[in-house]
Structure 1
Amino acid sequence: MKHLRATLVSGLMAAGLASAVYAAPPMPAGPAPDHGGMQGMEHGGEHRREAMARRQAALHDKLKLTGSQEAAWKTYVEAIRPPQAEGRPGRPDRAEWEKLSAPERMEKMLAMMKEREARMTTHLAAMKTFYATLSPLQQQIFNDNVGGRMHAHHGGRGRG
């Protein structure tokens, strides 16, 4: 009897899901709307800078920094500021990229990776210096609010 009930419940759930999928409105034809992803990058840089400033202001408020910590905070924020560049920094022109041979493209990709690694190393040094000025409670707040938390994305399966 238990097996029959479980089978019946599973069947009803599957039927409900199937009907919900078919009852959903169809997706509109045409280009996908721009939600701030890779499309529309000409305005994305400014949007990202504004979003970063909002997150930093919120973190600053949560940390309740003391006067002696303010200088370290300003140094940290300055160090993690993305470089100001036209277009997409670190991304080659598509037409130029397609002219390159496979080994040349790989060399360019490796050079871009090394540049990103150097920026991350600078960010890490600034973060460690600032983090050392925080109390244990402030460190926990910082840990909870600053990137690198793998479980927050993709169900904890790696990429963050």
Structure 2
Amino acid sequence: MTRRLILSACALALAGAASVQPALAQMGPPPMGPLAAERRAQVARDMHILLRLRPDQEAAWQAFEAAMVPPEPPPADGAAPKALTTPQRLEEMAERRAEMDARQAKWEAATRSFYAALSPDQQQAFDALARLRGPMAPPHGPGGPRGPIGGPEGAPPPGV
């Protein structure tokens, strides 16, 4: 009797897990909602104010801000996950890594260019803001979970 009960419970658990699996695979990362966009915009306005940017620095700021916008998530097509071979999965992973590397390079170039356009006092303020915001987080940009820039050479601040 108990053996039959245990087997039934196991069968139910496996059936439940199997029915949930496709739904979990389709979920993906949560969408970036209007609150995240509002937060990014507010952080950008705050940085603009705190750095006291001059009119001649506005073009560098605009380029920096544009590079910080996170990429749009791919649309959820609702289809079942693709049945790929291991080499095909590895190729997809390599493509995603190359895209992330390209975004990282774009982010770094925009940050260096903007930083070079700042006065020494503004650079000092920018560095202080970076230390307050935490480690580098280029995919998220201004207002992202960890902010636009990190400590020296991308090192996390002390105590992290």
Q: TM-score, normalised by structure 1?
A: 0.58
- The aligned counterpart of 1:131 is 115
CA gap of 1:141–1:87, structure 2 versus 1, over 3 A, is: farther
Residues 1:41 and 2:27 aligned together: no
Following the alignment from structure 1 to structure 2, what is the Cα–Cα distance between the partners of residues 115 and 39? 18
Bigger Rg, structure 1 or 2: 1
- The aligned counterpart of 2:156 is 151
SS of 2:99's partner is helix
- The aligned counterpart of 1:71 is 59
CA gap of 1:116–1:78, structure 2 versus 1, over 3 A, is: same
Letter in 2 for 1:53: A
- The aligned counterpart of 1:81 is 69
Following the alignment from structure 2 to structure 1, what is the Cα–Cα distance between the partners of residues 29 and 70? 19
Following the alignment from structure 2 to structure 1, what is the Cα–Cα distance between the partners of residues 35 and 97? 24
Residues 1:55 and 2:35 aligned together: no
- Structure 2, unaligned runs of 5 or more: 1-26, 131-148
| CA RMSD after TM alignment | 3.0
Deviation at 1:125, TM superposition (A): 1.3
8 Å contact from structure 2 (residues 60, 117) kept in 1: yes
Deviation at 1:46, TM superposition (A): 3.4
CA gap of 1:108–1:45, structure 2 versus 1, over 3 A, is: farther
SS of 1:72's partner is helix
CA gap of 1:39–1:51, structure 2 versus 1, over 3 A, is: farther
Following the alignment from structure 1 to structure 2, what is the Cα–Cα distance between the partners of residues 62 and 123? 21
SS of 2:111's partner is helix
Following the alignment from structure 1 to structure 2, what is the Cα–Cα distance between the partners of residues 122 and 86? 20
SS of 2:117's partner is coil
Report % sequence identity: 34
Report which structure shows greater RCO (CA 8 Å, sep ≥6). Answer: 2
8 Å contact from structure 2 (residues 64, 110) kept in 1: yes
SS of 1:41's partner is coil
Following the alignment from structure 1 to structure 2, what is the Cα–Cα distance between the partners of residues 55 and 80? 11
- Structure 1, unaligned runs of 5 or more: 1-37
CA gap of 1:107–1:86, structure 2 versus 1, over 3 A, is: closer
